[in-house]
Structure 1
Amino acid sequence: MSDPLFGADDEANTPLEAEERHALIPTYIALRRELNEAEQVNIAGALRWLSSRRREVLDERFLRTLHKQMFGQVWHWAGTYRQTARNIGVDAWRIPMDVAGAIDDARYWVEHQTYPPDEIALRFSHKLVAIHPFPNGNGRFSRLVGDLLAEQLGQTRFTWGSVNLVDPNETRRSYVQALRAADSHDFAELIAFARS
């Protein structure tokens, strides 16, 4: 019988190590639905926090603080880079330098207008999710970072496929498929998905 809280219910979820699972803060949580709800409440609080802050998205300290704001009421490790291996992402020891490299790349793209603003924001978001710097929440974190960078570049936030509210599983599959295309340096599908 699978764990009702931490069972891998789909291939896109990042499994947590035992010590990471024990870092859950709310003691009432027993089901995945309850965990998802607690994380959503925490993320809503992070959005309120963001509304009253100056944001320098291309700053490593801001990124860690943002993750902590998004998940810090649910997980003790929020805002701290993972120390364990994952089924996706870079080796844990590479995270600090890869995040720094992603920030440097994005700063260069912005300064030299290498790509249109949407593409810059999505390339940066994609790099972060590919690195997978935190134990969990990387997809939601990287999408919010993409939104914030798009806004910083004078664009509106992305819709991230929200036009397909009928089937959230199909939306998730489309997102994962677009990320896989971006892994092969084809960003057209991710750009189209993010604005759909």
Structure 2
Amino acid sequence: MDALTVDARAILTGTASKASVFDLEQAVQDDIAAEQLTAVLAGELDVDELLTDTYVRGLHRRMYGDIWTWAGVYRKRELNIGVAPEQIATQLHAALANLLYRWHHTDDWDPRILGIAVHAETVRIHPFVDGNGRSTRLLADLVFAAAQGTETVEVYDWVLEKRHYIELLRAYDRHRDPIDLADFIRTIPVTD
């Protein structure tokens, strides 16, 4: 709770519980998701723009900047997951560049697999102190939507069986193949 911004503390006066912070985060996330998905659907954001470390940091900052002081800042502490802090910037940049290169120069992945690969790679790197899951799931949705180029756009259905999802993310860490994870996560159409 020490990392709450001054504005968040003012909003949460007297009610700064985990539940109230979660609700605030969710409200902000919903607004950012709608704003960014609208930009993708309007053609203002494409796959090339989304798959940059600058965009990933900016998305995290937009999602958490009004609430947490660490928003959009790469973590500086070693964790039991993710790469070493000193490797975050280079690994994230390289991973996103590799995914983008593969998208443009091979034809074995469809948009659904690309979005899941982006999610799995950014989760694997675990660039931020917190909010990695939410921000990378939103990033996956945005990349998936931007890559589709169809009239009916879908996003991922993130309501899923968590234990199997975590097992598939761990398997991805070992073999870097997103197919099983993409097969597991269903999709749903975007509605107004």
Does TM-score exceed 0.5, indicating one fold? yes
**Which TM-score bucket, shorter chain as reference?**
0.7 to 0.9
Which structure ranks higher in relative contact order (CA pairs < 8 Å, sequence separation ≥ 6)? Answer: 2
- Taking the aligned partners of 2:147 and 2:114, their CA distance within structure 1 comes to 9
Q: Give the unaligned 5+ runs of structure 1.
A: 1-20, 165-170
Deviations 1:32-68 (A, max 9, x none): 2112111101112212431247222112211111111
% of aligned pairs identical? 31
Q: Which protein has the bigger helix share? A: 2
- Taking the aligned partners of 2:167 and 2:18, their CA distance within structure 1 comes to 24
- Taking the aligned partners of 1:74 and 1:48, their CA distance within structure 2 comes to 19
Q: Give the unaligned 5+ runs of structure 2.
A: 188-192
- Taking the aligned partners of 2:91 and 2:65, their CA distance within structure 1 comes to 23
Q: Does 1:76 align with 2:69?
A: yes
Task: Give the aligned partner of residue 94 of structure 2.
Answer: 101
- Taking the aligned partners of 1:73 and 1:52, their CA distance within structure 2 comes to 21
Task: Give the aligned partner of residue 173 of structure 1.
Answer: 163
Give the TM-score normalised by structure 1. Answer: 0.78
Q: Does 1:195 align with 2:169?
A: no
- Taking the aligned partners of 2:179 and 2:99, their CA distance within structure 1 comes to 18
Count of residues in Structure 1 that have an aligned counterpart in Structure 2: 168
Choose from 82, 85, 100 the match for 2:78. Answer: 85
- Change in CA separation of 1:61 and 1:83 when aligned onto 2, cut-off 3 Å: same
- The answer to whether the 8 Å contact 1:125/1:142 transfers is yes
Give the TM-score normalised by structure 2. Answer: 0.79
- Taking the aligned partners of 1:52 and 1:189, their CA distance within structure 2 comes to 29
Task: Give the aligned partner of residue 146 of structure 2.
Answer: 152
- The answer to whether the 8 Å contact 1:124/1:146 transfers is yes
Over aligned residues, Cα RMSD in angstroms? 1.9
